[in-house]
Amino acid sequence: MDFLRMSGLLGMGGLFNSFTSKKGNTRSESLDAEIQEKIKIAGITGNAFHLKADPIPKVRIALLGLGNRGQSLIDMLNWLVQEGHAEITAISDINPKKVQRAKEQIAEFQSYAPVVFTGNKDEWEKAMSTDIADLALICTPWEWHTKMALKAMKNGLHAASEVPIAYTPEASIELVQMAETTQRHCIMLENCCYNREELWILNMIEEGVFGTLTHAECAYLHDLRQLMIDPTYYEDRWRLKHHLQRNGNLYTTHGLGPVCMYFDILRGDTLTHLTSMSSGEAALSEALAATNDPELKAMASQVTCGDVNTTLIGTAKGRSIMLQFDVHSGRPYNRLDKVVGSKATHYGYPSRLYIDHGASWDGHRWLSNEAKAEYRDKYEHPLWTRLQKLAEEHPQGHGGMDFVMMYRLIRCLNLGESLDMNVYDGALWSLVGALSEASVTAGSERMVIPDLTAGKWTESSRHPVGREI
């Protein structure tokens, strides 16, 4: 079976076909064999795992996609530009109004006016030159991420992409292959890995508070119906189109990224297999049917993505992860952020901590707010302690995590350090989404999660986010 068709990989027209138009008959074994063959052909060696590139004293940025996220990341660059660590040298969007808005936004803190690439969907390619930029910052719709990151690296730039960076297995493989061949950084910008609560939990884990970790539950539960239907929010309603044509976990990384840090994934453990199930669909189609727009009403019968997707993932060390995705149902935002160890348990939303006192103790209650505050103070992550004041004084983005993320990216590039997350992390977290779709299509069949690191994952190390930079 032709799961790995390259033809439809990157263009909007064909890419949705790669798994979801194949009705039934998906077999984990044949898919695994095809992926293994692709990995073999790609010649993956793991040589970009601790990649360091020459220091770039002032990182020249080509920003692709100037919508909601692009605009927000411009704000995150304000301080870095003013300090001389970075400069936005090029911007690109197909929508001239967004270009104009971005130009005005950038002019508020940067004297140099970036070169503009607009007018058609391929104009961004002209910005992918080392004469113009060192880093491609990719904030476009999902279907562009892999293509833009590959082109950037091929032309000698580093690539930093919004999430997910890929959503087919071959795209994950191609990204790893390109990063290894070109020795360019390729980072997927998973901002939740820099959130204060997640960093605090990571620090407690590293300091032994949780004992032996066994299980985690994470998610992206965010009612996006209104935004997906709104004709002006996502350009050309790109996000809704994915939900019309794909079924599985389309957005794995906000929940999974932090859990992979907790579990030392690719740094001593790895994700080995998954099974995925989608519920039926009702909430999005009912919302579409309730509009007054005939075009949207017609879409009500076309929604493919189930309301709630649940994926169970196993790791090489025998840990389990429950990962959920739901952007259709009306309910409060939640990433769950649950982690279970032999000595402590944390549940997020709201944050609750349980410290175990042995099997005979019958407390079975979350710590009081006062007792938890002691843990918050004692185990605040050093990265957060170092950057809190700076983050609070500047546009923060999602409570500060976006600022910290951009700070780390640019400062690592300035100093010629390896990045906090490498191409293998982004490729793996994205691959889980692709395989969840394959599993759902195959009636929740078990899918093998292949190793894209050539065995580098077995080398234990502390997560690089703790380095002082």
What does the binding site for ligand NAD look like in residue numbers (CB under 6 A)?
64-70, 92-95, 98, 121, 124, 139-142, 144, 162-163, 191, 234-235, 238, 398
Q: Which is nearer to ligand NAD, 200 or 234 (CB)?
A: 234
> Nearest distance from residue 70's CB to ligand NAD, in Å?
6
Kindly tell me which of 141 and 314 has the beta carbon lying closer to ligand NAD.
Answer: 141
Contact 304, 312 (CB under 8 A): no
- Looking up tokens 């109004």 gives 97
Minimum Å gap between C-beta 249 and ligand NAD is: 13
Least distance between ligand NAD and beta carbon 185 (Å): 18
Query: Cα dist. 301→239, 246, 285 in Å?
Result: 17, 14, 7
Contact 177, 240 (CB under 8 A): no
CB of 282 to ligand NAD, least distance (A): 24
> Whole-number minimum distance, CB 422 to ligand NAD, in Å?
18
Residues 6+ apart with CB under 8 A from 389: none
Instruction: Measure the CA–CA gap between 114 and 82, rounded to whole angstroms.
Output: 15
Q: How far is residue 131's CA from residue 297's CA, in Å, rounded to a whole number?
A: 48
Residue 224's Cα: distance from chain center in Å?
Answer: 17
Q: Tell me which DSSP letter residue 418 carries.
A: P
Q: How many CB atoms lie within 10 A of CB 130?
A: 10
Q: Which is nearer to ligand NAD, 67 or 306 (CB)?
A: 67
CA–CA dist 200, 168 (Å, integer): 32
* Residue with Cβ nearer ligand NAD (65 or 464): 65
CA distance 258 to 351: 15
Min dist CB 357 to ligand NAD, Å, is 38
Among residues 28 and 253, whose Cβ is nearest to ligand NAD? Answer: 253
Closest approach of ligand NAD to the CB of residue 111, in Å = 25
Nearest CA-CA partner of 78 in 421, 384, 398, 410:
410
Nearer to ligand NAD (CB atom), residue 15 or residue 340: 15
CA angle 312, 317, 322 (to 5 degrees): 20
The residue (of 136 and 163) whose beta carbon lies closer to ligand NAD is 163
Minimum CB separation of residue 466 from ligand NAD in Å reads 22
Which residue, 68 or 444, has its beta carbon nearer to ligand NAD?
A: 68
Cα separation, 239 vs 225, in Å, equals 10
Residue 225, CB-side half-sphere exposure with 13 Å CA sphere = 22
Residue number with the smallest Cβ distance to ligand NAD: 67
